[in-house]
Amino acid sequence: MIETRNTNNILSLLNNYTLENVEDIALHTAESMRKRRIEKNISREELAKLSGIPVATIARFEQKGLISFQSLISIAITLGYSTEINSIFNVSKFDTMEELSQIRKKSGKKRAYKRNENTEN
DSSP of the chain, one letter per residue?
Answer: -HHHHHHHHHHHHHHHT---SHHHHHHHHHHHHHHHHHHTT--HHHHHHHHT--HHHHHHHHHH----HHHHHHHHHHTT-HHHHHTTT-S---SSHHHHHHHHHHTT-S-SS---TTS--
> CATH classification of 2-106 is 3.40.50.720, yes or no?
no
Domain ranges of the chain: 2-106
pLDDT at 104 over 90: no
Tell me the average pLDDT across 28-32: 95
Say which range, 25-39, 44-58, 63-77, 101-115, has the weakest mean pLDDT: 101-115
